Amino acid sequence: MGALYVRAAFAAALVVSVLLSGAFAEGVDRVWEKVEVVPHEADRRVDVLIGGKAFTAYIYPTTLKKPVLYPLRAADGTIVTRGYPLEPRPGERVDHPHHAGLWFNYGNVNGFDFWNNSDAIKPEDRAKMGTVIQQAIVATRNGADRGELETREAWLSGTGKMVLAQNTKYVFRGAANLRSIDLIATLEATDEKVVFNDDKEGLLGMRVARSLEGVADQPQVFTDASGRPTPVDKSNPADVTGVYLTSEGKKGDAVWGTRGRWCTLTGTLAGAPVTIAILDHPKNPGFPTYWHARAYGLFAANPLGAKVFTNGKEEMNFTLAAHASVTFRYRVLIFSGAASPEAVEAEYKSFSTEYSR
């Protein structure tokens, strides 16, 4: 009887430990909360509520050059994304005005720069930029354990020509210590070939709150593919707590430009630990993705920048023939707590079996 009791107690403790780690891989029970996806098209937004509390919103204000999810919150309501440029907060960095919330676009599509576009672009440079235009809210679905949003977008070149049609499905889930977003984006070329020229600026990106940044020891200047410089000041180590970690064991600054199935950013917000994870999918082009992860708070997965990340040793230039399409699949997780690599790997294994088509 004693041995059975010990084994039962150990099993119960193991389940609790897994739940607290935030894992929701197959075979692990979790109490999912109700998700509501509420469109407000006149306000150019769709609100997402989990358990009756605000989680995020899909927004497409005229001040941005692409739709974004903004802000993102942990389960306790703490905002994990930067406020600038939409809602600046005291002490934040004010560089890279195109970094808002969570977004999906790319830096060089048929020679047009979609990633760096913002109202800060000089008039003489605007013809070189691309814009992702929100076209339609296709569907919204509420559910007891998940919510869904389907949208349609158009990628327009600097001359106003439609280069790509985008159809996107978002799946939102939440539990007491976890928030989850699946983003499944299908891009279809219109009537001409589309080339995603190798570029460091892509593809799924987010800009995190100040205290989740890593330590930047020296001021730096980051230059985009068109030579436009953006200075970034060094950080105060007392203000920042973020540390990147990949599935391959790369950590901190060593993460940038390396490949991995997943990457996490762990730090402290409002005195509590939090982990943000981005999971790549084995069906994605360029898998496993390169990580465009910077200490100043940019956290991005870019599977299409091989030439940049390998110093010219490899080159991809991913290409779609006219009317051909490609689908990218990502999962973004926000754990309330410092998620272990084992927990994130379990999440990855679960995610990798979904969206196989």
Pairwise CA distance, residues 34 & 325, whole Å: 33
What's the gap between Cα 226 and its chain centre? 24
- 2-352 placed in CATH 2.40.50: no
Question: Where does 302-340 have alpha helices with state H?
Answer: 306-309
All structural domains of the chain with their residue ranges: 2-352
Question: What is the 8-class DSSP label of residue 234?
Answer: P
Q: Is 335:342 a contact under the CB 8 Å cutoff?
A: no
- The C-alpha angle with vertex 320 and arms to 316 and 322, in degrees rounded to 5, equals 155
Instruction: Write the DSSP assignment of 132-144 as a string of letters.
Output: EEEEEEEEEE-BS
Closest to 69 in 3D by CA, of 46, 87, 51: 46
Q: Is 70:48 a contact under the CB 8 Å cutoff?
A: no
The predicted structure's pLDDT at residue 139: 98
With a threshold of 0.85, does the pTM exceed it?
A: yes
Q: pLDDT tens, position by position, for the chain (357 residues)?
A: 344 333 433 333 333 333 333 344 443 447 999 999 999 999 999 999 999 999 999 999 999 999 999 999 999 999 999 999 999 999 899 999 999 999 999 999 999 999 999 999 999 999 999 999 999 999 999 999 999 999 999 999 999 999 999 999 999 999 999 999 999 999 999 999 999 999 999 999 999 999 999 987 677 777 776 777 788 777 676 789 999 999 999 999 999 999 999 999 999 999 999 999 999 999 999 999 999 999 999 999 999 999 999 999 999 999 999 999 999 999 999 999 999 999 999 999 999 999 877
